[in-house]
Amino acid sequence: MFVLVACSCIIITSYILENGSNYLAASIDKYRVLEKTPSPKIIFVGGSNLALGINSPRIKEKLGMNVVNMGLCVGLGLRYMINEIRDKISEGDIIVISPEYEHFQGDFFYGDENLFRLLLENPSIYRHLSFKQFIVRTISFAKSFQRAFRWFVDRLYMRFVLHAELPKDEIYFREGFNQFGDFVAHLNKPSPKVLYQKMQMDTSFYSSTHVASYLNSFHEEAARKKAKVYYLFPSLPVPIYKQFEKEFIAFNIWLRKNITIPVIESPEQAILPESYFFDTYYHLTNSGVQIRTERIIQRMNQELKIQSLPARRQGTT
């Protein structure tokens, strides 16, 4: 029954909500940019830590490659994020995966209610979801699906009964992204005094071998296409890192042992003072974005130089 209702919603949504201003609707624009951007290009994959975390024009300027920032929302799940871009990888591309820590805890890898909301907002993403994933997530997140469906019905009611414009978030909205996929609408806004979320970090990542396997499979696929893949940690406030320092160190060790993708920094190297965060522990202010961007440029430059050394030696013999 859930599947029938969901499919009906998808069909209706495809006709009436594509031009919505909801934040998640930016998925439509990001994918179009991904399709149109020529290779070689750098593709950033992750959640909102990337959407509100990097300056893509600066990265393009310093690294001399086109840049596409696919970061949107942690709740979409890392499995979907990777599936979304895998068919658009070409020779010479660089994929930088920077997932939030939650993807390695519990079932977050498969997404939460935000994945359903995105499906209602952008029905075309169904092709990036396996049938098993859709069924399992629908059953597992029955209550979350009900909330997402209620959100959908409210939008239909406003549009067709009240003939009103859909509500637009004061900060997070579709038009808040630039042409590269960076969210920039918040950059000149004052930050709330207190971060909205509290992070929980534990050692449940030891059970996330399925996530590591998926990353390794993607790495092999990218290598066959002659593309490179790197892993970066998301930025976090210093107090949160200090609170869970043992867990972050253990996760770093576990990750490097279990994935084949080069990890080019440590969790500690990604932290920033709390004043550089906007409203959550993953969203950066303008100053935070610039600092993180320069760090990424430096690490990418170092890694690309290392990767190019064998080719240079071979050319001189």
Domains along the sequence of the chain with CATH? 19-107+178-186+193-316 (3.40.50.1110)
What is residue 11's predicted lDDT score, i.e. its pLDDT?
Answer: 46
Question: Is the pLDDT reported for residue 315 higher than 80?
Answer: no
What is residue 169's predicted lDDT score, i.e. its pLDDT?
Answer: 58
Alpha-carbon distance of 126 to 133, in angstroms, equals 10
Please answer whether residues 116 and 2 qualify as being in contact, where contact means their C-beta atoms are separated by less than 8 angstroms. no
Question: Is the pLDDT reported for residue 312 higher than 50?
Answer: no
Please answer whether residues 200 and 242 qualify as being in contact, where contact means their C-beta atoms are separated by less than 8 angstroms. no
- Higher-confidence residue: 140 or 308? 308
| CA nearest neighbour of 47 among 19, 20, 18, 80 | 80
> What is the value of pTM for the model shown?
0.84
Share of the chain above pLDDT 90, in %: 62
Long-range contacts of 155-162 (CB under 8 A, 24+ apart): 155/17, 155/20, 156/12, 156/16, 159/16
Question: Is the pLDDT reported for residue 275 higher than 60?
Answer: yes
- Higher-confidence residue: 134 or 48? 48
Tell me the per-residue pLDDT of 77-111, one tens digit each, with 9 for 90 and over.
Answer: 999 999 999 999 999 999 999 999 999 998 889 88
| CA nearest neighbour of 95 among 105, 83, 77 | 83
What is residue 53's predicted lDDT score, i.e. its pLDDT?
Answer: 98
Model confidence band, residue 148 (pLDDT cutoffs 50, 70, 90): low
Residues, the chain, total? 317
Q: Please provide the average confidence, as pLDDT, over all residues in the chain.
A: 84
Tell me the per-residue pLDDT of 48-75, one tens digit each, with 9 for 90 and over.
Answer: 999 999 999 999 999 999 999 999 999 9
3-state secondary structure string across 78-143: HHHHHHHHHCCCCCCCEEEEECCHHHHCCCHHHCCHHHHHHHHHCHHHHHHCCHHHHHHHHHHCHH
Alpha-carbon distance of 229 to 181, in angstroms, equals 19
Question: Is the pLDDT reported for residue 227 higher than 80?
Answer: yes
Strands (E) located in the chain: 41-46, 66-69, 94-98, 228-231
- Higher-confidence residue: 60 or 145? 60
What is residue 15's predicted lDDT score, i.e. its pLDDT?
Answer: 44
Alpha-carbon distance of 233 to 99, in angstroms, equals 7
Structure tokens belonging to residue 158: 């406003």
Alpha-carbon distance of 8 to 150, in angstroms, equals 14
Alpha-carbon distance of 255 to 208, in angstroms, equals 10
